[in-house]
A and B are shown apart, each in its own frame.
Chain A
């Protein structure tokens, strides 16, 4: 049976997900529930996380159960499940996209609220991970190992590198433009709002369809995308 034929058997399986996940959730119909993923999974060894059961639930139409679950946030993204999958289902990708579905549906922000500043750094500085280090134990050990102050700028200088990695002003403007017109900036603001409203907030986040920007109009992405 070809992929397309298999999909026709369950016409309700993908359309619901497709809008939310941009066509990245796919191939789940190929799962034969063998459980190799669970056996290989480090998260499954430590928690009740169970990729096989999650796929079963999605195929059975219990999408809400997966999206609401705490388990969805247990994946380490190590891809061992994909490496061992005899049907080549890239489940970590699926998890990543299901998490977005979860956030848009009003869940999940409590798990990622501490990561939002990284997105803000990306927006403001073009880098997700920045040089400043808060942990005194890290600074102390670096001081001992390098013989400098332990601050990254000094270590870089000692190595003969510029004190800071430069991102050009043009690059920053472009990144911010892309963020604004593609909906990232809005998602960031909505998530901050939800974070500040506390864990009980279940406000759904509206997806951005069309955005006007300072520099021009961007008509938005095609709403529905056939799986490749």
Chain B
């Protein structure tokens, strides 16, 4: 259940700043285009900026770029929505964590904030912290009614599991929209799309990647962990997995292909970002939603959706 006290804090604006994720832009661009299509339909504006760079969270948490460099990078990126007077929506758990944690740290440490702004001042920017950093699944539940109005193709009979990813719910156990161990906020969105949310025993298990599966951790360790998750998913007989983070999407999507290539399993469960799911229910062209960028095949899922026909509500 979404927490009422957090729901209350989430602002519903006519326009937000969409913080682009580099994993989404470079590997799964459908996340971006689906988000824009969905927001256009529900009448909420999204502003983007070519001045926004990567949040730098990945290189900070993998220990190759010091906080002294990435904290000003956070402040620099947030100075853009600050100047535009917009709140920020992140599509990625990593961007959310990094912008929020470092934003809080700066606000609580005025001497460091001063230094960061001194640095930004040299390039003509200022970080005020006025732009509130929100996660995509902070905002979507607030717009649920408007989303429901736009659903022209309820995804009846589609069985969908969720994977929330670690860095939003676990990392923000007090400030996140839902309980870290028993979340339902995405399940509710699945219901809005007309599909059936399916629970599975390993739902809250991490994908096993961390940030660094392919680099630091050995495959012999990470793949069996991932297999455990997918075995449990397979038993639940799902048509797809809904994620709220591009990194989860990457790992779950490519991890399955990796397990197939290693001869461990033959799983091919499509992984969808939450706005891609909503886009399907809104009858948006699947090509525009970007399933072609996936390594797993969305073909069977799309065929099922196709059979549903349009406007069967």
B64 lies within 8 A of A118 (CB): yes
State how many angstroms separate the Cβ of A54 from the closest Cβ of chain B: 16
| Band of interface residues on A | 35 or more
- A102–B63 CA distance with the chains assembled, in angstroms: 10
B293 lies within 8 A of A155 (CB): yes
Instruction: Tell me which of B7-15, B131-139, B189-197, B204-212 binds A.
Output: B204-212
**Interfacial chain B residues near A160, Cβ < 8 Å:** 33, 288
What is the 8 Å Cβ interface bit string for chain B, positions 148-171, against chain A (1 contact, 0 not)?
Answer: 000000000000000000110111
- A123–B115 CA distance with the chains assembled, in angstroms: 21
**Interfacial chain B residues near A42, Cβ < 8 Å:** 205-206, 208, 225
- A179–B171 CA distance with the chains assembled, in angstroms: 27
A77 lies within 8 A of B61 (CB): yes
B68 lies within 8 A of A115 (CB): no
B29 lies within 8 A of A182 (CB): no
B221 lies within 8 A of A47 (CB): yes
Taking a contact as CB atoms closer than 8 A, the residue among A24, A73, A116, A222 that contacts B216 in the complex is: A73
Taking a contact as CB atoms closer than 8 A, the residue among A119, A133, A138 that contacts B65 in the complex is: A119
Interface residue? B123 (CB, 8 A): yes
- A74–B209 CA distance with the chains assembled, in angstroms: 11
State how many angstroms separate the Cβ of A167 from the closest Cβ of chain B: 6
What is the 8 Å Cβ interface bit string for chain B, positions 24-54, against chain A (1 contact, 0 not)?
Answer: 0111011011000000000000000011111
Interface residue? A166 (CB, 8 A): yes
A76 lies within 8 A of B208 (CB): yes
Taking a contact as CB atoms closer than 8 A, the residue among A43, A166, A225 that contacts B109 in the complex is: A225
- CB interface residues, A 192-228, toward B, < 8 Å: 208, 213, 215-216, 218-222, 225, 228
State how many angstroms separate the Cβ of A143 from the closest Cβ of chain B: 9
Interface residue? A17 (CB, 8 A): no
Given contacts A77-B166, A175-B53, A184-B65, A222 and B115 within 8 Å (CB-CB): yes
Interface residue? A112 (CB, 8 A): yes
**Interfacial chain A residues near B199, Cβ < 8 Å:** none
State how many angstroms separate the Cβ of A42 from the closest Cβ of chain B: 5
Instruction: Tell me which of A3-11, A28-36, A61-69, A78-86 binds B.
Output: A78-86
A99 lies within 8 A of B76 (CB): no
B173 lies within 8 A of A183 (CB): no
Interface residue? B198 (CB, 8 A): no
Given contacts A118-B64, A161-B32, A178 and B119 within 8 Å (CB-CB): yes
B65 lies within 8 A of A159 (CB): no
Interface residue? B243 (CB, 8 A): no
Taking a contact as CB atoms closer than 8 A, the residue among A97, A170, A183 that contacts B68 in the complex is: A183
Where the two chains meet, the residues of B that have a C-beta atom closer than 8 Å to any C-beta of A are 20, 22-23, 25-27, 29-30, 32-33, 50-54, 56, 58-70, 72-73, 76, 101, 105, 108-109, 111-112, 115, 118-119, 122-123, 125, 166-167, 169-171, 173, 180-181, 205-206, 208-213, 215-217, 221, 224-225, 254, 257, 261, 287-299
Q: Could you give 19 example pairs across A and B, Cβ below 8 Å?
A: A22-B68, A76-B208, A78-B170, A82-B170, A100-B66, A112-B215, A122-B53, A131-B26, A137-B261, A145-B299, A158-B292, A167-B50, A170-B51, A177-B123, A178-B76, A181-B119, A187-B66, A218-B119, A225-B109
